[in-house]
Amino acid sequence: MFVEYEFERDFADKACTLEHVISQAGADMGVYVFLQLSELSEFAEIAQQYKGHVAWVEDVASGPLGFLVDNPVVGLIEFSGSVPDSDPAGAFFSTDFPHSGVVMVSDAADFPATVQPVLVEECRPVEHASEESGDVITKLMQAGAFLVYRLDFAGAAGFLQEEVFIDTNNRGLVSGLL
């Protein structure tokens, strides 16, 4: 079971919610930034610059509809809470299109491998939606995430719509935001 919080922020404050939530994560927790990019090398550059490491990458443009994917390489960059000066929020907002990614927090050692099929399937182009596809947030929580952060641009008003999904056992991660 999880709860959803929504925040509307001005572009100037685009990372305040994410930075706050990440600051609440403990040293034993992993922070994972999932991105869709155009080149494999971009993952290594972002991981190096923001002090993370690439957990996995995959090209989702295979198949007959692959030409429809603007950013065909998807991947997960892992950040450890024990690494000083790591900046997952900076990595997330370092791309032109951060709304095509999510940030997750988990303490499960096998989280990167467990979440890979869920995220790859979500990004792979399909001819018709599967009836069994389900909600990606529910699948991420079942894979071991106890926090999922994503955003969308709310429109021409210059605001970001931030969504934070928290496992009900970990509501303390959003303390001070409500």
Residue 175 has pLDDT above 90, yes or no: no
At residue 111, the pLDDT reads 96
The amino acid that residue 44 corresponds to is A
Rg (CA), the chain: 16
Which of 3-12, 19-28, 144-153 comes out lowest in average pLDDT?
Answer: 3-12
At residue 130, the pLDDT reads 53
Q: Answer with the residue of higher pLDDT: 118 or 6.
A: 118
Q: What is the DSSP annotation of 113-129?
A: HHHHHHHHHHHS--SS-
Of the chain, the percentage scoring pLDDT greater than 70 comes to 70
CA dihedral 140→141→147→152, nearest 10 degrees, is 50
The mean pLDDT value for 57-70 works out to: 68
pLDDT-based confidence at residue 7 (cuts at 50, 70, 90): low
Residue pLDDT, tens place only, 138-163: 999 999 998 998 876 555 455 667 88
Q: Answer with the residue of higher pLDDT: 126 or 150.
A: 150
Residue 56 has pLDDT above 60, yes or no: yes
Which runs of consecutive H residues, i.e. helices, occur in the chain?
A: 16-24, 40-49, 88-92, 111-123, 136-142
Phi and psi at 69, nearest 5°, equal: -90, 115
